[in-house]
């Protein structure tokens, strides 16, 4: 959660079993973990969160996070309505959660997006978007990840294969997405899905 204020529902979300870190802005040292792929979803406020990014704080933070970590789901988290000049913020976010929404509605939206994000297919697609690879490179990465599902020793090899295509992408993001893809696939296989 990236909000310059401490939202009332924070404790409610924590009490419902969600692992949430509250950051007051992009100056927080934990913000780098958001950019590096440690988190799956962000509730992003528009104002007061990213002065160093520019006057359109939330929008600029949103654009930055989408560029460096395309697999991250970002939900607009605001109590206000904005004029048309702020429309891009809401258009580019994956959904909107109003700060005054009830806990049930908020949990439903968060759970909906986490169910989509926490699948091997979504993570693999996010990896491919992050890397911008061609069909042959995609197949090479897919084979490496496939091998890693059978032997845990091959996980680092899968990360290495993906990282070799990480021209402009962050190596940390690539590693996080590859490992998340593998873990989710192993879990799905174990569950018989």
| Mean pLDDT, the chain, whole residue set | 91
Rg of the chain in Å (alpha carbons): 18
Instruction: Name the band, by pLDDT with cuts 50, 70 and 90, for residue 52.
Output: confident
Instruction: Name the band, by pLDDT with cuts 50, 70 and 90, for residue 179.
Output: very high
Residue 121 CA to residue 141 CA, distance in Å, equals: 13
CATH topology of domain 10-117: Rossmann fold (3.40.50)
State the average pLDDT over residues 145-172: 92
Does this model's pTM top 0.85? My answer is yes
- Across 74-83, 89-98, 118-127, 166-175, least confident range: 74-83
Question: Residue 85 pLDDT > 80, yes or no?
Answer: no
Neighbour tally for 6: CB within 10 Å: 10
Residue 66 CA to residue 148 CA, distance in Å, equals: 28
- Across 60-64, 91-95, 165-169, 189-193, least confident range: 189-193
Where are the domains positioned within the chain? 10-117, 120-190
Decide: 117 and 40 in contact? Cβ < 8 Å.
Answer: yes
CA nearest to 111, candidates 190, 13, 45, 15: 13
Instruction: Name the band, by pLDDT with cuts 50, 70 and 90, for residue 185.
Output: very high
Instruction: Name the band, by pLDDT with cuts 50, 70 and 90, for residue 57.
Output: confident
Question: Residue 76 pLDDT > 90, yes or no?
Answer: yes
Instruction: Name the band, by pLDDT with cuts 50, 70 and 90, for residue 81.
Output: low
In terms of residues, how long is the chain?
193
- Please report, in angstroms and rounded to a whole number, the separation of the first and last CA atoms in the chain: 31
Question: Residue 173 pLDDT > 60, yes or no?
Answer: yes
Residue 155 CA to residue 182 CA, distance in Å, equals: 8
CA nearest to 44, candidates 9, 75, 87: 75
Instruction: Name the band, by pLDDT with cuts 50, 70 and 90, for residue 110.
Output: very high
Q: Per residue in 133-155, pLDDT tens? A: 999 999 999 999 999 998 888 99
Decide: 88 and 61 in contact? Cβ < 8 Å.
Answer: no
């Amino acid at each position: 959660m990236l909000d310059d204020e401490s939202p009332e529902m924070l404790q409610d979300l924590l009490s419902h079993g969600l692992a949430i870190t509250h950051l007051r802005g992009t100056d927080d040292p934990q913000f780098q973990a958001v950019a590096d792929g440690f988190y799956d979803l962000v509730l992003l406020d528009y104002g007061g969160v990213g002065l160093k990014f520019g006057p359109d704080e939330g929008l600029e933070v949103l654009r930055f996070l989408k560029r460096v970590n395309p697999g991250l789901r970002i939900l607009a988290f605001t109590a206000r309505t904005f004029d048309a000049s702020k429309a891009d913020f809401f258009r580019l976010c994956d959904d909107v959660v109003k700060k005054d929404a009830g806990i049930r509605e908020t949990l439903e939206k968060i759970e909906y997006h986490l169910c989509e994000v926490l699948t091997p297919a979504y993570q693999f697609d996010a990896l491919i978007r992050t890397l911008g690879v061609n069909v042959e490179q995609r197949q090479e990465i897919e084979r490496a990840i496939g091998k890693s599902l059978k032997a845990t020793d091959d996980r680092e090899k899968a990360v290495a294969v993906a990282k070799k295509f990480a021209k402009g992408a962050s190596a940390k993001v690539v590693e996080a997405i590859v490992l998340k893809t593998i873990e989710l696939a192993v879990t799905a296989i174990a569950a018989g899905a």
